[in-house]
């Protein structure tokens, strides 16, 4: 599998890779002219020079918010370097008897309707109780990539609090075939989101390279030098001028793509605890509504709407449709999922405005 194919296997609202605590190191006068990789290996306990070079290659070393790409950089006194070391890989997941909403299943793959609140694969802070743990119980050793540590059978991801359809491979043939469709963008994923405000025009495209936010490495953002991303959207229904139901179809699949792109154009997802509670930085952009009661109240919303926003407790985002060709015989496969009750209740409250 090529690097580009791996990129396309990212999900627009997938969980960002686990991040550890950043380490900082400031070069002294005696360090003038020293190679960066050698300096950091000597200055940071437990990190070898090889490990430092790997972290630099991964874009995890920065200075004054700018990513450092050259391990042979000659440092200057007073320069401060931030090194972000990811959390260790979790141990091999164990099977757990967790109910799954299976929409379709055959010998090669299964399609599941993931509920909000379920993490896709084990990571720091979520060692078990994940979709992978459930799949290991449901499918046993039939899952593709069973020898892998993090994502056996997982071809793409959804964020913990994003609900909806996912396809899972049971064998290498299915995994390779589905991955190829992600890479050539023939696999189609459609989402419904409830966003603040009403996008104008009512149908369009959002572009903007997506990468780590220079202000907060745990968030994604539209940044120069990020990975190209394209989201097509159309407004399905407007609730006055305060909110709207929007359909998003993906031409690319970047981490948190829909959430980042909608925030970028001034229409963050209602309930989004990461991207929906701050101003976007764009003139005239909507502020958005996070999960808190105070945030909802600040917008002067009727009480039923405030209650629905608070009860939602997550971003209003659901993967409603999934279309691909079966990797064994190329027959068209299409699946749809109804909006879950929490988003239906939110929409019902908005219709009362």
Q: What angle do CA 265, 251, 181 make, to 5 degrees?
A: 155
Out of 13, 159, 307, 342, pick the active-site residue.
159
- CB–CB of 87/50 below 8 Å? no
Q: What angle do CA 253, 259, 262 make, to 5 degrees?
A: 105
Strand-pair partners of 188:
323
Q: Is 2 helix (H, G, I), strand (E, B) or coil?
A: coil
Q: Residues for the chain: how many in total?
A: 353
> Is 172 labeled as catalytic in the residue annotation?
no
Distance from C-alpha of 150 to C-alpha of 89, rounded to nearest angstrom: 8
Nearest to 348 by CA among 307, 299, 291: 307
CB atoms within 10 A of CB 213: 17
Helix and strand element counts for the chain (H, E): 9, 15
Nearest to 108 by CA among 171, 182, 178: 171
Known catalytic residues are 159
């Amino acid at each position: 599998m090529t690097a580009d194919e791996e990129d396309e296997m990212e999900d627009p609202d997938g969980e960002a890779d686990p991040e550890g605590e950043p380490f900082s190191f400031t070069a002294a006068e005696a360090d003038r002219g020293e190679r960066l990789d050698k300096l950091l290996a000597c200055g940071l306990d437990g990190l070898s020079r090889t490990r430092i070079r790997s972290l630099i290659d991964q874009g995890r070393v920065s200075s004054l918010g700018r990513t450092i790409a050259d391990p042979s950089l000659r440092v200057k006194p007073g320069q401060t370097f931030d090194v972000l070391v990811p959390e260790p890989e979790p141990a091999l997941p164990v099977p757990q008897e967790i109910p799954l909403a299976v929409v379709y299943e055959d010998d090669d793959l299964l399609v599941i309707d993931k509920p909000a609140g379920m993490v896709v694969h084990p990571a720091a802070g979520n060692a078990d109780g994940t979709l992978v743990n459930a799949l290991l119980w449901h499918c046993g050793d039939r899952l593709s990539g069973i020898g892998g540590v993090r994502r056996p059978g997982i071809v793409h991801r959804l964020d913990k609090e994003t609900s909806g359809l996912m396809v899972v491979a049971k064998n290498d043939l299915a995994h390779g075939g589905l991955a190829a469709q992600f890479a050539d963008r023939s696999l189609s994923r459609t989402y419904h989101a409830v966003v603040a405000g009403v996008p104008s025009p009512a149908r369009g495209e959002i572009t903007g390279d997506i990468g780590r936010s220079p202000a907060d490495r745990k968030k994604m953002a539209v940044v120069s030098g990020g990975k190209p991303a394209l989201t097509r959207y159309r407004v399905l229904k407007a609730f006055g001028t305060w909110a709207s139901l929007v359909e998003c179809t993906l031409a690319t699949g970047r981490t948190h793509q829909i959430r980042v792109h909608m925030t970028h154009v001034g229409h963050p997802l209602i309930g989004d605890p990461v991207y929906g509670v701050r101003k976007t930085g764009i003139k005239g952009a909507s502020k958005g509504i996070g999960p808190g009661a105070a945030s909802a109240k600040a917008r002067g919303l009727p009480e039923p709407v405030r209650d629905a926003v608070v009860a939602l407790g997550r971003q209003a985002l659901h993967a409603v449709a999934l279309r691909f060709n079966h990797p064994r015989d190329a027959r068209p496969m299409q699946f749809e999922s109804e909006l879950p009750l929490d988003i239906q209740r939110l929409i019902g409250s908005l219709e009362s405005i």
